[in-house]
Amino acid sequence: MLRFSNFLFPESRDPGRDADVIADCIAEAKLCDELGVEVLWLAEHHFDGNCAYVDPVTFAAAVLAATKRIKVGFAVAQVSLHHPMRLAEQMSLLDNLGRGRVIVGLGRGTAYNVYEYQGYGIPHEEALERYEEAEGIMLKAWTSPEGFSHVGKHWTLKVPRLRPQPFTQPHPYLIRAASSEAGALHLARRGVPFLMNVQSNETTAKRLALYRAAMAEAGFDAAHIARCLDESWVWRNVVVAETDAEAERIGIPAFEAMQEHRKALRERIYAEQGIIMKKEEVPPARVNPSHALIAGSPATVAAKMAEIEAAGVGGVICSFRLGPMPAATAAASIRLFMEEVAPRFAAPAVSAAAE
């Protein structure tokens, strides 16, 4: 059974409209809660308007207060920009506020936007090592009732104990991001589920097959492999309308405008400073609408989702509000998806006689 979630990744080009866009996000969260979306994923990006609420930790508290059932996940917290003890405390508090409705998605930080590291005074070259050390500290904090000490490259700590203790034991539910094939295989060898960034269906199927094989080679049994695949998620940009033509009319310009906005500050920094972290290939799957955008009628979108289901992954992270798309347009797309696409993938009801 394929599961569905929403990636709340709202663009705000005009700082004067930030408050309005953030209010739209709360309204979208409430709609998703009402319609039965399983998870609302939050992003973290700074300084560029690509993610209006910027700080997913603070915003998650607002979403949890405004909703009743939906889980709130991080896709992902940019761990290298945070003090690990502060982040461990904040995630534990959110886990208590939501009484277990939090999914702590962790990643090292952006692979493209050098200005996010510059703004926090952190060398981007240190992002991976900071992330790896911080994850270990956070796990110790959540699982050491007597406290712990840590001496590492970036932090030296003597912690009496973490309060509040996590609601979920032994710690909040964790998932890691893997933006590359190598990253996915690294997580496979650890035997843990993962979040995959936007890829073509062909690449998704190939990567999941390699992930499955790497887990088997590492000695994990079939039940564990199946559980990890079921708990893994892939990301797609999605627009649903009554017809394919209408969905493409709405979706393609919004998608293309979103991609242009996302690279604008990156290119300006390169022009001004000559610094670039990672040059995007042309055309990569994540910016090519033929691969990265699913736009169509409910039947067309369902067929595309069936292809993803066949690859063996458990869930799809759908981004519905793309770039400058109006909130009302995204809301209509979400409603159509949840009412006419998602039910096609629901588990069949068990009759009383069968029980």
* DSSP per position, 105-166: EEE---SS-HHHHHHHT--GGGHHHHHHHHHHHHHHHHH-TT-EEEE-SS-EEEES--SSPP
Query: 10-residue block means of pLDDT along the chain (355 residues)?
Result: 97 97 98 98 98 98 98 98 98 98 96 96 97 98 98 98 98 96 96 95 96 98 98 97 98 97 94 87 68 95 98 98 98 98 82 46
Give, rounded to a whole angstrom, the gap between the first and last alpha carbons of the chain: 20
Distances in Å between the Cα of 60 and the Cα atoms of 43, 47, 68, 76 are 10, 19, 13, 12
- The confidence score (pLDDT) of residue 355 equals 43
Q: Which H helix or E strand runs over 36?
A: none
Q: What is the largest distance, in Å, between two alpha-carbon atoms of the chain?
A: 71
Q: What are phi and psi of 195, to 5 degrees?
A: -105, 130
Burial class (CB in 10 A: 0-12, 13-18, 19+), 100: middle
If phi > 0 it is left, if psi is from -120 to 50 it is alpha, else beta; for residue 71 that is beta
Measuring CA to CA, which residue among 147, 166, 169, 149 is closest to residue 157?
A: 149
- Evaluate whether 9 touches 353 at the Cβ level (below 8 Å): no
What's the pLDDT score for residue 281? 56
Strand, coil or helix: 96: helix
Cβ neighbors of 58 (< 8 A, separation 6 or more) are none
Q: What is the pLDDT of residue 285?
A: 66
Distance CA 288, CA 98 (A): 37
Q: What pLDDT, on the 0 to 100 scale, is given for residue 349?
A: 57
Strand-pair category, 148-151 with 156-159: antiparallel
In the numeric block, the tokens 């979208």 are attached to 28
312 alpha-carbon distance from chain centroid: 19
Dihedral pair phi/psi, residue 154, rounded to 5°: -105, -20
pLDDT digits (tens, 9 = 90+) for 278-327: 766 545 667 788 888 999 999 999 999 999 999 999 999 999 999 999 99
List the helix and strand counts (H, then E) for the chain: 12, 12
Those residues with Cβ within 8 angstroms of residue 54's Cβ, 6 or more apart along the chain or in another chain: 44, 45, 46
**Contact predicate 88/162, CB 8 Å:** yes
Which residues does 210 contact at the CB level (< 8 Å), separation at least 6? 181, 184, 185, 188
**Is 91 exposed, middle or buried, given 0-12, 13-18 or 19+ CB atoms closer than 10 A?**
buried
Structure tokens at 173: 């539910």
Q: How far apart are CA 88 and CA 85, in angstroms?
A: 5
The full set of domains in the chain, from first to last, is: 3-75+179-345 (3.20.20.30)
3-state secondary structure of 40: strand
